[in-house]
Amino acid sequence: MKKRSVARVSALVSVSCAVLLTLVACGKDYFLAGRSLPPSGVLNRVMMAEQNPNALPFVDAYYDVRHNASETIPQYEISGYSGQLPVTIQNLPAQQTGAVYNAGSGDLSLIDYAQEKLSTSIPIPGGYSNSVFISRDLNYVYAANDANNVVSVVDRPSGTSYVLDLPGVYSISVNPGGTVALAFVRDSDQGASQSTETGTSYKQFSVYSIVKLTQAQSLAAANNPNYVYTDANGNTNMAEDCEPQNLPAYCIFPVSTGPNAKFDRPVKAVFSADGSTAYVLDCGPECGGTTAGITAIPITVSSLNPGAIGATGINLTATTFTPIPKGATNAIFNGNTMYIAGQQCQNFVAGQPCSGLFTGYLTVYDTSTGKITGTYPISDGYHNKMLFGDDNTLWVGSKICNGGVRYAEAQAGQNVQYGCLTMFNTQTGAVTVDSYKGDATGIAAVGGLHKVYSAEGGQVYIYSTTNMSQLDNSNVTMQGTITDVAYMDSGTDADNTYY
């Protein structure tokens, strides 16, 4: 049977299943956790950020097709979308929402998964954003712009936006509860025992916390961009900037370091499952620094701004630094186990600059014991994506993987895979590296179907989670450049978006 015929039959079966599901539900039109059956009738949807043309197509990930049964709809697509150059999707299926950042139009498109259409577009002031994050409650947007050296805040409940000065800022991390929003300064280091109380220069801070002020604090900070906050114990912290200056609503405060903590080229933060700790990833030598590692910041009641809502981490202090010799640029949690991806210099010498190429590693770290329990070689490159899939698998994506040790070995005639996507089995420790297809910029785990969708080199690929074999993607390939993918019907926000 021809592929086209198979696709028609598959799509017809998909529609039949949707109808049957509705009937079985005794007339109620829903399919998962009370979610409404979408207009397309597709129950396993993967959305894609597509450039040239600018669109948000989605596919039926059960049958891996992009059209309906009669082919009257050649491609499913989010209606009403008009963003320019979509680059990332923050996937929030528990809220039936996707947040798409558009680099060309400089706004954030909120996609209504239930209706398969644009909900609203949120303009982000300050220019092109390197990093954009919306809180899980969809109330606050935070963005970093290193060209203009600003942090942007969109406060949706109040209908206002703010731009705060922070030289060198380039990345944002936000915790699930939206109580902590951290900003990271590019290529920066911060030594132990540094705080505004000790008179440390602003240039010596690496991590900052975005804070929404209470009304009383706003009045106290009027016309004072370097407002000094004093907590109940008499501890003080001086803001880097507060805006608007005549009556500030938001300030940026530096994160202090205790005697046993430091920051060494920090790039992002991940948060423990119980919300008690932010772990900052220190890129170290991979980013021109000295020592890769993780820096722990306790999230305590005393460190939060009392009486405030939104981002409230007003007096944060890092307490410990743990070296991760194999590199730390990204991480993801499973209980107390943190999986950390990064690169180590091929000719690694502790504390010395790299004199050769970098090679990728995955480090398994137990936060309950503070011990590294394993290290595994993975794809080279800057690791920007991590996601759990079926069959005890962890998927890691990277950029510029053809600039590391694996590529050099392949060029020298060795039989080495040097692709940008890695499948790691968390039970057996087995590592499988993909063949090279370009940068891996998106990963979506289609839970229960034992498959993963990826965006690599601007195109869509599908893999089995049992052995990383490549599945047929001929009916889901797109005309334009695919930069990200998201499983719209996942049961958890952790699918594509992690904290």
Domain assignment present for 244: yes
What pLDDT, in 10s, does the model give residues 108-162?
Answer: 999 999 999 999 999 999 989 999 999 999 999 999 999 999 999 999 999 999 9
* Residue 323: strand pairing partners: 293
Low-confidence ranges of the chain (pLDDT < 70): 1-33, 202-203, 498-499
The DSSP letter of residue 287 is G
Specify the pLDDT at position 17: 44
DSSP 425-476: ETTT--EEEPPP-S-EEEEEEETTTTEEEEEETTEEEEEETTT-PEEP-TTT
Read off the tokens for 323.
């070296």
Residue 111, domain member (yes or no): no
Q: How far apart are CA 445 and CA 458, in angstroms?
A: 18
Q: How many whole angstroms separate alpha carbon 391 and alpha carbon 291? A: 34
- β-sheet bridge partners, residue 321: 295
Tell me the C-alpha distance between 263 and 293, whole Å: 9
Tell me the C-alpha distance between 495 and 128, whole Å.
Answer: 26
Written as one letter, the residue type at 398 is S
In a domain? residue 178: yes
Assess if residue 205 is contained within a domain: yes
Asked if residue 198 is part of any domain, the answer here is yes
The residues near 367 (Cβ < 8 Å, ≥ 6 apart) are: 272, 277, 279, 336, 337, 338
The answer to whether 317 touches 256, Cβ cutoff 8 Å, is: yes
What share of residues in the chain are helix, strand, coil (percent, to 5)?
Answer: 10, 40, 45
From residue 416, alpha-carbon distances to 77, 381, 419, 464 in Å are 38, 15, 9, 21
User: Rounded CA gap, 318 and 312, in Å?
Assistant: 16
Contacts of 93 (CB under 8 A, 6+ apart): 113, 487, 488, 489, 490, 491, 492, 493, 495
Give the start-end residues of each E strand in 213-292.
Answer: 228-230, 236-238, 241-243, 250-254, 256-257, 263-264, 266-271, 277-282
Q: Are strands 256-257 and 317-318 parallel, antiparallel or unpaired?
A: parallel
State which residues form the domain around 198: 124-323
Cα dihedral sign, 458-462-465-468: negative
Closest to 113 in 3D by CA, of 32, 6, 219: 32
The verdict on residue 46 lying in a domain is no
Q: Distance of CA 441 to CAs 51, 65, 85, 86, 484, Å?
A: 13, 21, 14, 12, 6
Count of domains observed in the chain: 1
User: What is the pLDDT, as a whole number, of residue 202?
Assistant: 62
CA 479 to CA 476: how far, in whole Å? 10
Q: Give the Å distances, CA to CA, from 297 to 11, 36, 104, 190.
A: 50, 40, 35, 14
d(CA 119, CA 82): 12
Contacts of 80 (CB under 8 A, 6+ apart): 117, 118
Is 84 contained in some domain? no
Task: Give dist(CA 381, CA 419) in Å, integer.
Answer: 9
Determine, yes or no, domain membership for 319. yes
